[in-house]
Structure 1
Amino acid sequence: MSDPFPVPLTGIPALVVSGFLGSGKTTLVQHLLKDAQQKGLRLAVVSNEFGALGIDQALLGAQGSNAYVELEGGCVCCKLSDELVNTLQQLWIEVRPDRIVVETSGVALPFDTLLNFWREPVSNWVGDCIAVVVVNAEQVADERDLEGTFEQQVSSADLLILNKVDLVGTDHLGRIEARLDHLAPGIPIIHATNASVSPEVLFTPDNDMNAKRNVDGHGPHTHEAFESEEVQLEPGAHPDSIISQIVSHKALRAKGFVQTSQGLRLLQGVGTRIDLIESPIDPPDHLLGRIIVIRRSHKPNSIH
């Protein structure tokens, strides 16, 4: 009997949400849950944050309460790492989620948490996984608690969400971004208010999308607009050439299958970090060479 919920071609996308206390992690997760409900997606959330999310059961909808798990008694990046792996596998068996989010405590390290997605048996079904760190712009502007844990979190991020930019003057943003770029050189920074970011920047779209389109955020809270389009790559190119071509598009995210001079590869990118890994499956021919990239929109987007 075939599995009614087979693993997608590129696996289940996973997101580790980290950040200092009060940065807006929980608000971001709530946005992602609401978006998933509107789109009919099964989003599983594992929270290690101090204090409950306070998610209304109605928000989870048909996912049921077993799609939300709280882990207590330590941090998922160290003490609870084995429990996290067991929890993720149980969620896969019971919920068959379309997406996975792990919200860490304010003192956890995102990359150490991310490593658990590469452990068996979770690695058998998880695909694209990144560490997102939410940063309180006001905290950086005031230069509060910017050493130790904050530095470690920011420096190990794949993507930074500079949240609460409405609480600092625009003249401060350059200094704030310079500080973050010093800690995490080249890591993409997205501006947000109320932790509202387009989910398609965090979870790359399916590879069968073939039309360029805008990727909007959540109402008036988003300060940046994004667009997504398909880039076609010729087969047989050298991996270095492919990476250079994708980097030239200045994409925040990139994903797709490509036939390189060294064989079939799954391309996954965050900012300037482009990974070409051996493809876990043999994708349909029509998906080869079609790379989805998401970048900031060239269209003006007003700040509300």
Structure 2
Amino acid sequence: MKDVYLFSGFLGSGKTSMLTDVLRQFKEKGLKPAVIMNELGKLPFDSQAVGEDVPLKEMLEGCICCSGAEKTEAQIQSLLADEDFDVLIIETTGAAHPVEALDAVYSPLFAEQLNIKGIVTVADSKLWLQKESLTPQVRTLFLEQIRHAHLLLANKMDLLNDSEQGKVVFEMQGLNPNAFILQTTNGRVPLHLLESLQSSTQKSSNEIQSVHVGKQLQLSSRLIEFNHSFTQEQFEDWVRSLPSTVYRIKGYVPIEGISRPMLFQYAYGLVQWLPEYINMPPKVVMIGENIQHIHVIGDE
């Protein structure tokens, strides 16, 4: 199983500086990293920082969290099939909501091969002090990136005085009390802090296989496998019974009277069923907050 880190943060927050330094640290430790880099422009400016010896997949002219989700899955599959690497880093665009980014990474096709260690958000501390000047949409995204982080870098601390530094940390801690907040300059983060993030995946079949989920990992995922079929109505009734902290479900559900599991997707309270013409494994991935103890359909 390969460890995966999602790097989140606004454009100019210091994500690329952090990526460059983290890649150096992984190499010095003897680990081989791979990178998926999501950029909104046509030219891969940031990819020059990765280095020729690091397997790299790029997402140009698109967001990892929207129409690019399928491309992201294809890129991860390609890396798993063709490249030898130990750890995967996915750098999202500044426009990516953490839930959307995590959703794009998870696919029932390879979820068992990946161990999402967590979302590392780089926040511009100076921008935090000026957040009221942002448009409501941009400010909301900025706050959401911080709220869902598992490790939070309060970056550019060298541009603030002591009083401002204290204000930033206090307010960010109030917004996300579960994350470890590191005050940084130039996005420097010790590798041991990344590696100490607990696994955010939980696998379950008829019986939930309990795993240690770190307290700091509010936003997490759960892989659910099925060993018998349901009617669509039964499955949708279960989905409607779930708490609002479940944001996404996607995967393949075995339906009575249908020979192959159907593709199922759930987001924002809406469900979608699509026929699948290949016999896919009957499993789904659930993404949300504090979902490890949710009752799974079929469990007694």
Letter in 2 for 1:266: V
Question: Quick one: which of 26, 29, 38 aligns to 1:36?
Answer: 26
**Displacement of 1:109:** 1.1
How is 1:61-210 mapped onto 2 (pairs within 5 angstroms)?
Answer: 61=53, 63=54, 67-143=55-131, 144-145=133-134, 147-204=139-196
How is 1:197-236 mapped onto 2 (pairs within 5 angstroms)?
Answer: 197-204=189-196
Distance in 2, matches of 1:274 and 1:115, equals 11
Q: Report the RMSD for the aligned CA atoms in angstroms.
A: 2.9
**Displacement of 1:148:** 2.5
Distance in 2, matches of 1:122 and 1:272, equals 21
Distance in 1, matches of 2:116 and 2:96, equals 21
Task: Report Cα offsets for 1:39-67 as digits up to 9, x if no partner.
Answer: 2322111111345214367x343x4xxx1
Report sequence identity in percent.
Answer: 24
How is 1:283-294 mapped onto 2 (pairs within 5 angstroms)?
Answer: none
Q: Which has the larger radius of gyration?
A: 2
**Displacement of 1:102:** 0.7
Tell me the residue number matched to 2:276: none
Letter in 1 for 2:175: L
Question: Quick one: which of 20, 25, 34 aligns to 2:10?
Answer: 20
**Displacement of 1:161:** 0.8
Task: Report Cα offsets for 1:226-278 as digits up to 9, x if no partner.
Answer: xxxxxxxxxxxxxxxxxxxxxxxxxxx3469xxxxx98633242637598979
Letter in 2 for 1:159: L
What is the count of residue pairs matched by the alignment?
212
SS at 1:147 equivalent = helix
Q: Structure 2 vs 1, CA of residues 167 and 130 (structure 1 numbering), >3 Å: closer, same or farther? A: same
Task: Report Cα offsets for 1:199-229 as digits up to 9, x if no partner.
Answer: 221134xxxxxxxxxxxxxxxxxxxxxxxxx
Contact 1:267–1:277 (CA<8 Å) still a contact in 2? no
SS at 2:118 equivalent = strand
The alignment status of 1:52 with 2:45, answered yes or no, reads yes
Task: Report Cα offsets for 1:83-121 as digits up to 9, x if no partner.
Answer: 101101111111132111111111111221112333122
**Displacement of 1:162:** 0.7
The normalised TM-score by structure 2 is 0.62
Distance in 2, matches of 1:73 and 1:276, equals 28
Tell me the residue number matched to 1:237: none
Letter in 1 for 2:145: Q
Letter in 2 for 1:78: C
Q: Structure 2 vs 1, CA of residues 109 and 84 (structure 1 numbering), >3 Å: closer, same or farther? A: same
Contact 1:20–1:107 (CA<8 Å) still a contact in 2? yes
SS at 1:171 equivalent = helix
Distance in 2, matches of 1:130 and 1:85, equals 18
Unaligned 5+ segments in structure 1 are 1-10, 205-252, 257-261, 281-304
The normalised TM-score by structure 1 is 0.62
Q: Structure 2 vs 1, CA of residues 88 and 271 (structure 1 numbering), >3 Å: closer, same or farther? A: same
Distance in 1, matches of 2:39 and 2:9, equals 10
Unaligned 5+ segments in structure 2 are 201-206, 226-300
Q: Structure 2 vs 1, CA of residues 270 and 91 (structure 1 numbering), >3 Å: closer, same or farther? A: farther
SS at 1:271 equivalent = coil
SS at 2:211 equivalent = strand
Tell me the residue number matched to 2:212: 267
Task: Report Cα offsets for 1:2-60 as digits up to 9, x if no partner.
Answer: xxxxxxxxx21111111111100111111122122222322111111345214367x34
SS at 1:70 equivalent = strand
Distance in 1, matches of 2:63 and 2:221, equals 31
Task: Report Cα offsets for 1:115-157 as digits up to 9, x if no partner.
Answer: 2333122202001331111001111133353712212222222
